[in-house]
Amino acid sequence: MRLRAAQRLRAGVKGIAGLALGAATALVEAVFLVVAAVGVAYAFVFSRGQDMVPRTVARAARWLVEVERRRLKVLLGGESVGGYGPLQALAYLVLRVPVGLLSGAVLLLLVYGLGVTAVLLSWWILGTHPPDYGPTPMRVLGVGLVGAVLLYLDLQGLAGAAVLERRLARRCLGPSPLELYERRIAQLSASRAEVVDAVDDERRRIERDLHDGVQQRLVGLSMLIGRARRARDPERAAELVRQAHEEAQRALEDLREVSWRVYPAALDADGLRAALETVAERSAVPVVIDYAAAGRLPSRVETAAYFVVCEAVTNAAKHARARRVTVRIREHGTMLSVRIEDDGVGGADPAGGGLAGLARRAAALDGRLTVDSPPGGPTVITAELPCG
């Protein structure tokens, strides 16, 4: 609860700062539009309609629009990633100026109201109020109610101004609903192809593990048994049977290892936490599991998170020369965050086969995987997987 309250307070402060900055930029844009109107009219007349927007005006308009997009993204949570031309940029600025000035007016009302409240409180607390305006109970109650209603309306106005800013940018600068659908279709097509590639890679890895590990063990086992059958010396035969028994045990270990890498039984039966604890027990590097997700997660999410942790722990032990690995699992709303950090030498390549396969697996769930591994370490791998 405290964390959410702090997040909401931080978002509120950022929103007010964004609207205040937007009011200031609206004044600059209003001046720019006046100058730009003269430049556009001049260019239109002397180019006989061939040059609608002078190059200087177009560059300035684009710069102002990018400033607004940056402000919306950082302070107001807006996201506008569409392409736009000079005329769209000018149209956006023309529409945004009144919105920015409206936001400034609402902010001034808020400042004015807070100032009046501070003056009243100082009068009543210090006893410096006018003779006919003392702090009677009815007067305090009335002022408090009116102030609360006005504060509520003012905050609603600020929230509405922020929404209006985001919608205006999305409508004028894109992407349009059609562009969003097209991007989504392209994203799904790419994800489907990546899933097919990931499945093929996994199949080849399993085939390689079986061919290079279990199959070679079984061949050796068969040869030992054959030699034991042909041995005439009972002691030699007993020794070969003993070696065959040991080879059979190693083949079983290899087969068990392969089956774990395909899909661990503990993940299906006991959930992600139990499967990760098993990973920590089997790892050659000390692994600390910090697990804070409540209840069982969707099977596809648990599977993806499990393989992300397995690959990261394996890389830390084999390539990074790490001495310690920390795995942290957290739920943030409908997202599961998986963070693996090791104290190794770093330098992990996100385009490498294992990490690229994990990125494809996360993308197939509409999630994402990031790798931060500077030379010298540490390496931090983070996967964000949607649970909804």
Q: Which tens digit of pLDDT belongs to each residue from 114-135?
A: 999 999 889 888 888 888 778 8
Q: What is the mean pLDDT of residues 106-117?
A: 93
9 vs 62, which has greater pLDDT?
Answer: 62
User: 150 pLDDT band (50/70/90 cuts)?
Assistant: very high
Q: What is the mean pLDDT of residues 310-319?
A: 86
Residue of 246, 216, 218, 241 whose CA lies nearest to 228: 241
User: 1 pLDDT band (50/70/90 cuts)?
Assistant: low
What separation in angstroms does the CA of 108 have from each of 69, 100, 164?
Answer: 24, 12, 18
Q: How far apart are CA 299 and CA 67, in angstroms?
A: 43
Q: How far apart are CA 77 and CA 145, in angstroms?
A: 32
Residue with tokens 């590097």: 285
pLDDT at residue 108, rounded to an integer? 94
45 vs 274, which has greater pLDDT?
Answer: 274
Q: What is the mean pLDDT of residues 235-252?
A: 90
The first and second tokens of residue 278, run together, are 């098993």
Q: How far apart are CA 91 and CA 96, in angstroms?
A: 9
The first and second tokens of residue 362, run together, are 């996360």
Q: What is the pLDDT of residues 35-63, one digit of tens each?
A: 988 888 887 777 766 667 788 888 999 99
**pLDDT beyond 80 at 283:** yes
* CB of 287 closer than 8 Å to CB of 325: yes
216 vs 192, which has greater pLDDT?
Answer: 216
Positive or negative: CA dihedral 45, 50, 53, 56: negative
User: 80 pLDDT band (50/70/90 cuts)?
Assistant: low
The arrangement of strands across the sheet holding 325-332 comes to 287-291, 325-332, 335-342, 379-386, 368-372
pLDDT at residue 170, rounded to an integer? 83
pLDDT at residue 3, rounded to an integer? 56
Chain-centroid distance of CA 268 in Å reads 27
Residue with tokens 């899909």: 263
- Looking at every residue in the chain, the average pLDDT score rounds to 85
**pLDDT beyond 70 at 161:** yes
Q: What is the mean pLDDT of residues 178-203?
A: 78
pLDDT at residue 105, rounded to an integer? 94
